[in-house]
Amino acid sequence: MVFKLALRNLYRHPRQTFTVGSLLMVGIALLFVGNSVFDGTEAGIEESFISSFTAHFSIRSRSDVEFSIFGDQTPVIGELFKMPTLAPYPDIRSAVETLPGVESVTSLVSGLALLEYGTYRAAAPLFGVEPDTYLRTFPGIQVKEGRFLRSGERGVVLPEGRIKQMEASIGQKVGVGAVIQFTVADGITFRIRSAPLVGIIQYPLRNDTLDSIVLVDPTTVRELYNYLIGGDSPAMAKSTSTAPMAVHAPATSSGSSSIDALFEEAEPDRQVAAKGVEREAIEQELSEALRAPRPAVDEGAWNFLLVRKDPHTPVTALKRSLEQTVQDRQWEVEVLNWRQTAGTSALFLYWMRTIFNIGFLVVAVASLIILMDTLIMSVLERVREIGTLRALGASEAVIRKLFLTETTLLAAGAGLLGVGFGIGITLYLQQHPFRLENPFLIQLFGGSALLPRITMSRTILSWLTAIGMGLLGWIYPVRIALRVQPRIAMERRF
């Protein structure tokens, strides 16, 4: 009875039904389309990042400084941030590789350097990679020219986007074999290394983040960032023992030494001046200096362990296994998901989506106020009808149930139409994607085209949101309806 009466009331009041229904339908359609766009871009970025450079999880050392795979998230100008290395690395690597659900594991040493080639200069994140396992962990990478790094060699692999930037800057083609130079400033000192370009790669998604990455051999990054074995190592000891240095005060005319003699004008060495400069002797000294042993690089220094799961293992299950392993072994490391591994480069979209939903919430509150005003006017226009029902014996529960049934039917129907309208717009955008030209928007949305994504969870959530807004909007009007006295309603003239 109540259901039939609610349908009759909706039919008998077309103006109120159309006004409230249209408001809900448009709001839900906009919400659905907006979140579908974010769902599509986020899914695309997640898949691209995981298959390109973050993997599903990463393991890093605990630190007071928040850092990602690209370095310090709050950099201090003028200071070189050196990421902490994993310890005990062999034990961590062995334990992770044997966990069920792990498909591939690779290690990474990371840093930031100035890349130079000809007149081209730009800051570049350096990823010192493990050649034997890197491509297996990141199947999204395609080698377009040359080859990938080999174990034990010095070399550089650049993305196609970086190559195009370099060619546009210097006005000539950059091909395999070009020598790329890297510089790191550490206080008042500089460390410079160079390596040949061995390959050019392409990522599944073009954006500034992926185009900036430079893959190099791990030894180059370790030397640039001074990941050396302790000073008591044999190599260090041998290096320092071959070149002893001592400072002696010059002898005075009386044969004694004094500090004041350091500031006296030196007598010219007429014997050496008469002989001249011997080129062979200088070349011999330079040759010996070049052959002198360098400080030994710590070949076990890695900043991150990147973990790719197999397709059949849930993400949450593998994360629990990794965190449990770390906790049981009491290692000072932590497990990060793909978004935390990428750092700020993957947080833009997350915050944009949050801002969008906050904005929609503000609009929803305003719409709810308008909705309540419309419903209140509807209740006032139906005072006589409500009074008649009360006079015929309808209780407050029946009146409340009647209005709630009307609201549910109206909100559910409007929400369903809004979702359908949103699905139609989304399908149209999938067939005719909106192209982006602004570099910031391309970076933000992970590509040059907006490709929305339709999911069942988003569809159901949008529909339930419509019903919730409708029910919330009817709370105050129902209270007004229950205050109507039958005698007053019957005496009212319209």
Q: Are residues 384 and 483 in the same domain?
A: yes
Asked if pLDDT for residue 78 goes beyond 50, the answer is no
- For residues 370-374, average pLDDT: 70
Asked if pLDDT for residue 199 goes beyond 80, the answer is yes
Q: Are residues 43 and 73 in the same domain?
A: no
From the list 23, 237, 226, the residue with the least C-alpha distance to 113 is 226
Q: Are residues 88 and 139 in the same domain?
A: yes
Q: How confident is the model at residue 204 (pLDDT cuts 50, 70, 90)?
A: confident
Dihedral (CA of 250, 254, 255, 258) sign: negative
Q: How confident is the model at residue 76 (pLDDT cuts 50, 70, 90)?
A: very low
Q: Are residues 44 and 70 in the same domain?
A: no
Residue 358 tokens read as: 């906050």
Asked if pLDDT for residue 259 goes beyond 60, the answer is no
pLDDT for res 240? 36
* Residue 245 placed within a domain: no
Q: Are residues 194 and 95 in the same domain?
A: yes
pLDDT for res 248? 43
288, 305, 331: which is the final residue of a domain? 331
pLDDT for res 330? 92
* Residue 53 placed within a domain: no
Q: Are residues 10 and 140 in the same domain?
A: no
- Residue 272 CA to residue 367 CA, distance in Å, equals 95
275-304 pLDDT per residue, tens: 555 667 766 665 665 555 556 666 788 999
Q: Name the pTM for this structure.
A: 0.66
* Residue 461 placed within a domain: yes
The residue that leads in pLDDT, 200 or 491, is 200
Asked if pLDDT for residue 40 goes beyond 90, the answer is no
Q: Are residues 104 and 72 in the same domain?
A: yes
Domain count, the chain: 2
* Residue 407 placed within a domain: yes
- Residue 408 CA to residue 382 CA, distance in Å, equals 18
- 411, β-bridge pairs: none
Query: Which range has the worst mean pLDDT, 68-82, 147-161, 307-321, 472-486?
Result: 68-82
According to DSSP, residue 93 is labeled H
- For residues 129-137, average pLDDT: 95
The number of CA neighbours under 13 Å toward the Cβ of 115 is 27
377-393 pLDDT per residue, tens: 766 666 677 777 777 77
Helical ranges in 302-446 per DSSP H: 315-329, 338-342, 344-381, 383-391, 396-431, 439-445
According to DSSP, residue 343 is labeled T
Q: Are residues 25 and 82 in the same domain?
A: no
pLDDT for res 65? 81
Q: Are residues 188 and 73 in the same domain?
A: yes
pLDDT for res 260? 52
Q: Are residues 7 and 87 in the same domain?
A: no
How high is the mean pLDDT of the chain?
78
Question: Rounded to 5 degrees, what are φ and ψ at 440?
Answer: -65, -40
pLDDT for res 369? 74
Q: Are residues 155 and 187 in the same domain?
A: yes
Residue with tokens 């500089």, as numbered in its chain: 190
* Residue 81 placed within a domain: yes
* Residue 319 placed within a domain: yes
The residue that leads in pLDDT, 224 or 430, is 224
- Residue 112 CA to residue 129 CA, distance in Å, equals 14
- Residue 47 CA to residue 140 CA, distance in Å, equals 9
- Residue 217 CA to residue 154 CA, distance in Å, equals 6
pLDDT for res 389? 73
Q: Are residues 43 and 123 in the same domain?
A: no
pLDDT for res 457? 85
* Residue 342 placed within a domain: no
Asked if pLDDT for residue 267 goes beyond 80, the answer is no
Query: Which range has the worst mean pLDDT, 22-36, 239-253, 360-374?
Result: 239-253
Domain extent, residue 384, equals 2-48+347-491
pLDDT for res 239? 39
- For residues 426-447, average pLDDT: 72
* Residue 288 placed within a domain: no
> Which of 54-58, 364-368, 452-456, 466-470 ranks highest by mean pLDDT?
54-58
